[in-house]
Amino acid sequence: MRRHKKSKAQDSAFFWSPLRFLEHELPAIRKKSQNTVASYRTSLNICIDYLEDMKGHRRERICFQDLNKENLKDYLVWMGQIREWSPKTCNLRPTVISPLLSYASEECMDITPGFVSSKTISTW
């Protein structure tokens, strides 16, 4: 039986491997401070927790495809209406997603449509 090969957008191993984004890309290439890297890590973990707790995704199986426009919009609503975070926090927390998707789309064309789609979310 022949199995279809997953695209990298659907591959959870590929999702977790670019966390090199936090360890290398942000501090070495983009010259971000360790405080900024820590803030990005916290924001990304909150988004992953949301996908796990609210969307039912298993953490170890989360992939770039899960960072789709619908999930990201729902994430914004969850932060504002369920968590009742301030508008400033609701706009700050997702700021890690766009650069992460940009970085990943540079590594793999499969992710480019998700990155472009995420750019159309107006509050980002």
What is the Cα–Cα distance from 66 to 55, expressed in whole angstroms? 10
pLDDT at site 2: 40
Would the CA dihedral through 24, 19, 66, 88 be positive or negative? negative
| pLDDT tens digit sequence for 41-91 | 999 999 999 999 999 999 999 999 999 999 999 999 999 999 999 999 988
> What rounded mean pLDDT belongs to the chain?
86
Residue 104 near residue 115 (C-beta atoms within 8 A): yes
Residue 58 tokens read as 């298993």
What is the Cα–Cα distance from 36 to 16, expressed in whole angstroms? 20
User: Any alpha helices (H) in 19-124, and if so which ranges?
Assistant: 20, 34-53, 69-77, 87-92, 97-107, 112-118
- In the block, tokens 């170890």 appear at 60
The model's pTM is 0.84
